[in-house]
Amino acid sequence: MPALPRRVFSDAEWERIRAGCSRGRSGAKWIARCRGDVLWLYRSETGYGIYEATFVPTADGGRRIARALVEGHAQRYRSPSTEYDALVLELVVSAVLLDEPADGLRAAMTRLMRAASGVVDMPSEVVEHSILGVLSARPYAPTGAVGRGAHRPPRPRPLP
């Protein structure tokens, strides 16, 4: 992966990342596994490995991602951009494994997805759910968008 997240994770965060690899999270679209300094992220629906990240210690303490690979098989995963992959990798680690709010990463992902799709009023909750599989604690507020990429609630079925 040419672009890597720049964040330095503290030693305590690294231990939480490693601990998060052994437990599943209900509703998450990601399964994480660790061995040594390597983190693998798999899509839970398919079992396909999408990201592999190698963490290395920094001189000032903590760890950073020094090397990352992304699935290259087009039938398993289509990477929209290197910026997208770096953002998803950091977002999954921060929001799913560390259970952080990651508001800045979520906002950046929403901006990126809106620009890529051309749907300028795509709800952030739709973006977050499509990537993380879990909705934020923020309530969904429809924007009135209709068309490609817009979220519509299901229509109620008539009673028998």
What's the one-letter identity of residue 125?
A: E
pLDDT averaged per 10 residues in sequence order, the chain, 160 residues = 90 90 66 94 89 96 95 81 92 91 91 90 86 58 44 51
Listed by start position, the domains of the chain span 8-132
pTM of the model: 0.78
Using alpha carbons only, how large is the chain's radius of gyration in Å? Answer: 17
What is the torsional sign of CA 130, 67, 108, 121?
negative
- Quote the pLDDT of residue 148: 45
What is the torsional sign of CA 106, 131, 7, 83?
negative
Q: Which residue has the tokens 């998060």?
A: 20
